[in-house]
Chain A
């Protein structure tokens, strides 16, 4: 599991240290297939022992980026270096990088044991060493009992663990995981996410994981890169990505968010105020990016940061009135969809602290939504 910062332990954040040497340097990398640009001028540093997640919708170039790291594709422009060595012209079988394939790509004619031993045998290590390492790997993924089985004789979850063991067996500097949990059901997925973190911690390997599932990225990763159309939109820790998205795209991609468009009326000490509708109070949030007074901007706030009330909360500057359109009761929390001026619907999430709390709201009730000045962000268009 992720290291918890404690008083005698420094927080793991090499990306904040200007002297830290990254394991992977991706500098100005572009990849084109014909006239289609799959990767568009990416710069990225990934550090040793990181659990780095590439997150983005299907087709945004995640697999292509991974395949360039593994050596199956060559960048059209730019350079990739791993451990200070330029990877141009280095064949996949000469890289200290292993990949766990999206389809697992287990060798169907070999047993679980032989699948794991495959890479070790290529290095020409002696028999006893190979056997010991394979046993170690089988133990790590808890598959000792299945060593003699063929891939078609084990379940999907077990196959996924064999693929992981096989790619870890050579103790690579870098392990690439392409949607490793895509084929698993939700429960197994969550268990496996923790298992993966555990294994990453134990082996100290640098992991780069590709996923289109934002929850997965948030759970496992030390840092997340959000990608769109071959470009990296933001690279940050899961908490920063969630609380400090640098664009509407990232805010919208990760979790639930309310987006309100308007015009910047003032910018002052990192706060920006937005006029957004006639008859409503202007809203204020933390200014982000290059905003200009009078220019258009979007206010983004997470539903759980909002508070619902019947009376006008006059002590708050950010307050909006509207009518309840919909109520979703989820047991531990309730979500209210409130329609305000211009048909704008704002979502508010309230934890049901006491058993009868706030049950008195019902459809078509006139309510106020409010939040603090620091709860939301004002993002440029």
Chain B
């Protein structure tokens, strides 16, 4: 291992402090006895108890998870299909237009996406609620999925699919049995990306949510406007905890998969 110079140590510390001190403060204050956020009055877990008794908050969390699950799943299916057609079908009329259009929502301000969806839902008379949020999130997450999946498909050896056809598979079987298992990691990353985007989306959800369904980001944002409550700190701490565990286990799993593959390859020689 290389030793770091003093300058490097300082820059590293500053950078990480900048990133993590706000979160650390948030975590610490979630265990504060006092209702006042800025005054430390001793250790307590009572806000966690409060949080779990706060039904509105629990409901919002549940809605958020449902929305994230359904929208990311639908977005993954649609996004993968779009990517497949755009990468695979070769040149067809309007291909450039379509592939350009799939990127447009990525750079479109969320306010505009949200507003346009709101207008659409009103125009077709769809009551705002969980369904409309799912539709809205599907719409924008689909583009991200299709970008992730098409970057994988571009490097996918097309002769694998031809080999499947040659061996008697129908085009759909070739996709299901050969293409999909091979591009699965990209599809899963696309799904995770869509899931995360949906979890933390505030703007689009605000436009498309109705009185019957509120997501967690909306709930947090609106309650913070009335003053930061220690309950929100507790909730945020839980989210930070979940994310940390998720990131660490994902990296452990992929590291183990790589070591296993290397070992197998060495065994082959």
- Tell me if B162 and A92 are in contact (CB < 8 A): yes
**Chain-A contact segment, one of B32-40, B96-104, B163-171:** B163-171
**Cβ of A155 < 8 Å from any Cβ of B?**
yes
**Cβ of A2 < 8 Å from any Cβ of B?**
no
- Tell me if A93 and B168 are in contact (CB < 8 A): yes
**Cβ of B127 < 8 Å from any Cβ of A?**
no
**Cβ of B212 < 8 Å from any Cβ of A?**
no
User: Which one of B159, B264, B267 lies within 8 Å of A105 (CB-CB)?
Assistant: B159
Within the complex, the shortest CB–CB distance from A358 to chain B, in Å, comes to 49
CB contacts (< 8 Å) of B178 on chain A: these are 107
Within the complex, the shortest CB–CB distance from A35 to chain B, in Å, comes to 15
Docked pose: A107 CA to B182 CA in angstroms:
9
- Tell me if A108 and B182 are in contact (CB < 8 A): yes
Docked pose: A344 CA to B264 CA in angstroms:
59
Within the complex, the shortest CB–CB distance from A323 to chain B, in Å, comes to 54
By beta carbon, the residue of chain A nearest B160 is A105
By beta carbon, the residue of chain B nearest A70 is B166
**Chain-B contact segment, one of A116-124, A259-267, A276-284:** A116-124
Contact with B along A98-125 (1 / 0, CB 8 A): 1101110111110000000011001100
With A99-B166, A123-B168 as known contacts, state yes or no: A154 contacts B268, CB within 8 Å: yes
With A107-B178, A152-B265, A154-B268 as known contacts, state yes or no: A92 contacts B160, CB within 8 Å: no
With A109-B181, A109-B182, A122-B173 as known contacts, state yes or no: A153 contacts B268, CB within 8 Å: yes
**Cβ of A1 < 8 Å from any Cβ of B?**
no
Which B residues contact A (CB, under 8 angstroms)?
Answer: 157, 159-160, 162-171, 173, 177-178, 181-182, 261, 264-265, 267-269
Which A residues contact B (CB, under 8 angstroms)?
Answer: 70, 72, 91-93, 97-99, 101-103, 105-109, 118-119, 122-123, 149-150, 152-155, 166-167, 170
| 6 pairs, A vs B, C-beta closer than 8 Å | A107-B163, A118-B167, A149-B268, A153-B268, A154-B268, A170-B167
7 new A-B pairs (CB below 8 Å) besides A152-B264, A170-B167? A72-B162, A99-B166, A105-B163, A106-B163, A107-B178, A118-B164, A118-B169
